[in-house]
Amino acid sequence: MKKITIILSCIILFTTSCNSSKETKKGEKTTTSKYVTESHSYAQPNAAVVKHLNLNITVDFDQEVISGSANYSIENNNATEIILDSKFLDIQKTEADGKETKFALGEFDKHLGQALKITITPETKNITVYYKTTNKTEALQWLKPQQTADKKHPFLFTQGQAILTRTWIPIQDSPQIRVTYEATVKAPTGLMAVMSAENPKEKTKNGLYHFKMEQPISPYLIALAVGDVEYKAISNRTGVYAEKSMLAKVHTEFSDMEKMVTTAEGLYGNYAWEQFDVIVLPPSFPFGGMENPRLTFATPTVIAGDKSLTSLVAHELAHSWSGNLVTNATWDDFWLNEGFTVYFEIRIMEALYGKERAEMLALIGRQDLEDELISFKDSPNDTKLKLDLKDRNPDDGMNSIAYDKGYLFLRTLEQTVGREKLDAFLKNYFNSHSFSTMHTEKFVTYLNNNLLDKYNITFNTNEWVYKPGIPSNQAKIESDKFKNVELTLQDVLKNNSANTEATKEWTPQEWVHFIRNFPKNMEIKHFEMLDNTYNLTNSTNSYISMVWFEQAILHNYRGHDIDDKIEQFLCNVGRRWYVTTIFKAYVKSSKKEEAINIYKKSRANYHSVTSNTIDNLLNYSQ
Ligand code: BES
Ligand code: ZN
């Protein structure tokens, strides 16, 4: 009897301490649970949950295998098994409190992988999994020296978001779970290992590295890179890692990083992670950037030489609040990570470089959103902020809706309540939910209680969040610079002559806007004239190249050896957004055969995230 009372009061205490009765997504089942049900993890964290990871691994470049053990302290609610997520891992042995114990792997699902069920007792406090990665691993990309900047040493990096961490560490791979971690990594001598943790600034002689992440983070944020990189500080808490031949350029490009952190802190409160560094990876990295805590991973395609693409750093930095501190509870709530981050990013850019630059960024996003709405015209449910990605790859939610509709929601909210009130609200929001997770319903309640009802403001939040499309009260984004670009474009087309006076001072964003707005019926002679004047086929700005190549393909422009240039670009750069935009242009203009011929050559250079997307786009199977 006494025991039952204790258990009951524990449950009550547990429940009230996390407001869970209001948090529920699907009603009664979760009313007494801390964690919501979610469709992209097999874990049952309400029964037993991992709290601290001690990772001990060897990185073997010859075999292209990571092997070792993942040891966890667990919080055990009287469970007799603990379930981890695992995909394409070779599980060798499991232990509970140091003694070998049974495990079983569940049925394989192409997105989720397998449940790894480990037998424990209600008293178990600690488990260990001995494992190896396999050649099917999706998180890891093993690069040959030829794929790096310096071409001398191999390179390895991981990409965990959204559900790939389970392909290199057996773990409860749900964003609502948080772990602190420490790691011991054995790398080949001569290479440096870095993680989303406290990092070395020099190589060690024996290739052995120890890491500590003392703040609890979601599993998708555990990251590792191993390569011949060096560190150069920008300030006492910011700096860059890059290969030797890139280090100086990267350092100059990102020299405003300390100012960015200070500006961000001025907006929404102190930076919680002590150190903010960026590592510039080889060009096959599938994203622009990835906000791994303390160490953002970034593509070299943003090193333009003129700081024109550094809003990416502002974006990843902003995730230190929206995403890493307050984390989307499930991938259906992804807009809470990305929409808030785009808003925050643009605010940082505005504070540092002025309204004009910020409005250009916002307007580029607005056009991306318009394009995305068209691409989703047959699946309106995908244009809701709150998604339902059950039985789908959470990557399907990584599109302009979460980013740019999410931004537009906050921007419209700002216009409605005023910047001062929104800023105070956001600062409190981050502060009061730090190191915890957020789902859409909980956010809407918090918004009502702490902003809208508080000031008696009417706002159509539900329409924005739960309905498809863009509500009619959307904020209008305007840029005089872009209006000018549009006038110049009309003028250039009418006269078929470049206007070098008008374009003299253009920033890459203005060029991007100019090129993206070429009319459907633009003629080859216009492409030739522009290419002769501005040498756009050989632009050194990757963003300009991408949109120019896209238009060239759509309009069948073949001058200036552009076909070779496009092929080179696609064989070198693996950034999914760029690669997809270009391959889509081939498909859209009925040149799929050409696309497949290039893809046959470029595919081997891509990380699985990119090759999976392009395989689907081109219906390609190896
Ligand atoms: N967290 C994302 C990258 C991501 C999202 C990876 C979902 C896997 C699944 C990152 O912060 C991001 O948004 N990167 C953008 C750049 C940004 C400036 C819009 C990218 O990679 O293009
Ligand atoms: Zn982001």
Q: Give the pLDDT confidence score for residue 12 in this predicted structure.
A: 36
Burial 366-384 (b: 16+ CB within 10 A, else e): bbbbeebbeebeeeeebbb
Tokens of 514: 């100019």
Task: Tell me, yes or no, if 316 is annotated catalytic.
Answer: yes
Q: With a 6 A CB cut-off, is 220 part of the ligand 1 pocket? A: no
Q: Give the pLDDT confidence score for residue 622 in this predicted structure.
A: 85
**173 touches 163 (CB < 8 A):** yes
Do the domains 326-466 and 480-618 sit in the same CATH topology, yes or no?
Answer: no
Which atom of ligand 1 lies at the shortest distance from residue 342's CA?
19
Of the CA atoms within 13 Å of residue 478, those in its CB half-sphere come to 3
Question: Of 276, 203, 198, 265, whose CA–CA distance to 234 is shortest?
Answer: 276
**Superfamily name and number for 38-227:** tricorn interacting facor f3 domain (2.60.40.1730)
Q: Which amino acid is residue 48, in one-letter code?
A: A
Write down the pTM of the prediction: 0.95
Question: Of 309, 266, 259, whose CA–CA distance to 289 is shortest?
Answer: 309
Catalytic residue among 23, 316, 345, 414: 316
Pairing of strands 126-133, 140-143: unpaired
Give me the helix-helix angle, 576-588 and 542-555, nearest 10°.
10
Tokens of 378: 């047959």
* φ, ψ at 436 (rounded to 5°): -140, 180
* Residue 73, beta-bridge partner list: 52, 126
- CA 577 to ligand 1 centroid distance, Å: 10
- CA 16 to ligand 2 centroid distance, Å: 32
Cα 107–Cα 112–Cα 116 angle in degrees, nearest 5? 55
Residue 353's Cα: distance from chain center in Å? 24
The C-alpha atoms of residue 387 and residue 331 are separated, in whole angstroms, by 8
Q: Give the pLDDT confidence score for residue 32 in this predicted structure.
A: 52
Q: Give the pLDDT confidence score for residue 2 in this predicted structure.
A: 40
Integer-rounded Cα Rg, in Å, for the chain is: 25
**234 touches 254 (CB < 8 A):** yes
Task: Tell me, yes or no, if 403 is annotated catalytic.
Answer: yes
**509 touches 485 (CB < 8 A):** no
3-state secondary structure of 259: helix
Domain at 243-320: CATH architecture: 2-Layer Sandwich (3.30)
Q: With a 6 A CB cut-off, is 465 part of the ligand 1 pocket? A: no
Spatial neighbors of 418 by CB under 8 A, at least 6 apart, are none
- CA 337 to ligand 2 centroid distance, Å: 7
3-state secondary structure of 339: helix
Catalytic residue among 403, 407, 586, 599: 403
Pairing of strands 99-101, 155-158: unpaired
Q: With a 6 A CB cut-off, is 407 part of the ligand 1 pocket? A: no
Question: Of 233, 388, 260, 405, whose CA–CA distance to 336 is shortest?
Answer: 405
Burial 394-405 (b: 16+ CB within 10 A, else e): bbebbbbbbbbb
CATH level 3 topology of 326-466: Neutral Protease; domain 2 (1.10.390)
User: Can you give the residue ranges of every domain in the chain?
Assistant: 38-227, 243-320, 326-466, 480-618
The ligand that comes nearest to the alpha carbon of residue 364 is 1
Question: Of 403, 456, 404, 446, whose CA–CA distance to 425 is shortest?
Answer: 446
Q: With a 6 A CB cut-off, is 287 part of the ligand 1 pocket? A: yes
- CA 215 to ligand 1 centroid distance, Å: 22
Which CATH code is given to the segment(s) 480-618?
A: 1.25.40.320
Mean pLDDT, contiguous 10-residue spans, the chain (622 residues): 40 37 38 84 98 99 98 98 98 98 98 98 98 98 98 98 99 98 98 98 98 98 99 98 98 98 98 98 98 99 98 99 98 98 99 98 98 97 98 96 99 98 98 98 98 98 98 98 98 94 97 98 97 98 98 97 98 98 98 98 98 98 90
- DSSP, res 83: E
